[in-house]
Chains A and B, each alone.
Chain A
């Protein structure tokens, strides 16, 4: 019963314990507790990307190890969870290719209009991320913008976007992404000289 009453150390307290004794048993024990709190989340996140338990486990190990090695550089300006999330996200992004803004095999390719290549060329000319962001802002509804961003820049699976955005309509993110791409394509067509 006493264990339930004893307050658990916060992430910040564990990081401080590690900083005070990084190579000692107390410091390593603190990191072990800290990373142990997040290991399941890291694994689940990796699994969402690679859809393979063994590969996800390898990625999660790499993420945890990288976090451990880099903990000395964590300066406490952000939450430990978001710092660790950034490491996991970057590692996962390196693992898979990004789908195009205009075409995506996972979103029912058949429903997309045939392309003569012009919108793709226009898109390639939008090298500047700020210009691309402006185009998305001018063309799409906020929900469509976020879905497309999650798909193309965060490389999240379509089903995952449905959950992340809490979409409860029948088609989930799939329909949203199709609509966003149609609008984007039409906007790029209109820009064609």
Chain B
């Protein structure tokens, strides 16, 4: 008897469309691992009602900003992927004609959440800590300079109200943290090459993020952004 091996996750969707007589398709129907993964993938493509939650819309906006920053391209006008067209009222809300208005509403919601809500509630930003209330969000910190050249590391970012310290974290391309640098209360950090705990390689893709802290707790974070290692003096 020939035993059909499990299907690699990436190929499951294509295998599910094979004729029922195909041994690989039959394997998927009987194997708990492959069946479970195929169902999970279908759920990934069709998020269901959860995708309509307010926190999802806010995250969607921030992810668009993140992609625009990371790729240096304008935030995409999102459309549902062809693999799973949406037909709900939510899709109508995302129709091309609605996008400018929707973008404005989302920006207003995010701004309102970050700026207005803590004041109305009489609570400082420290209440909006990661891992706290599901409704709370950590405000975004904006990095204005991130350069790693022969002169060393040069970082600058916008100050965050109430922050008493900033921490710079550098990650490898594989998202492993390779350095953590304390900037105290400054909004810039310059580290000469001799004081770097790692050896930058020209062309090496690195990522950097900055956390603003108050009494040791993170009160704002930047998204990770690319940090190019150059060989030219800065």
Taking Cβ atoms with an 8 Å cutoff, the residues of A that contact B are 3-4, 8, 10-11, 25, 28-29, 31-33, 35-45, 47-48, 51-57, 60-62, 64-66, 68-69, 77-79, 81-83, 85-86, 88-89, 133, 136-137, 142, 145-146, 148-150, 153-154, 156, 160, 163-165
Contacts and interface: CB of A to CB of B under 8 A. Distances in A.
Given A55-B130, A146-B35, A150-B39, A36 B10 contact: no
Contacts, number: 186
A35 to B, nearest CB: 6
A149 B11 contact: no
Q: How would you classify the secondary structure of chain A's contact residues: helix, strand, loop or mixed?
A: helix
Interface of B: 8-14, 30-33, 35-37, 39-45, 47-48, 50-51, 55-56, 58-60, 62-64, 66-68, 70-84, 96, 130-131, 134, 136-138, 173, 175, 205, 207, 223-224
- Which 3 interchain pairs have the tightest Cβ spacing? A36-B76, A78-B10, A145-B32
Contacts of A82: 9-14, 41
Contacts of B56: 40, 43-44, 47
A89 B13 CA distance: 15
Given A32-B68, A62-B175, A156-B40, A81 B48 contact: no
B75 A77 contact: no
Contact of B60 (A31, A43, A52, A88): A43
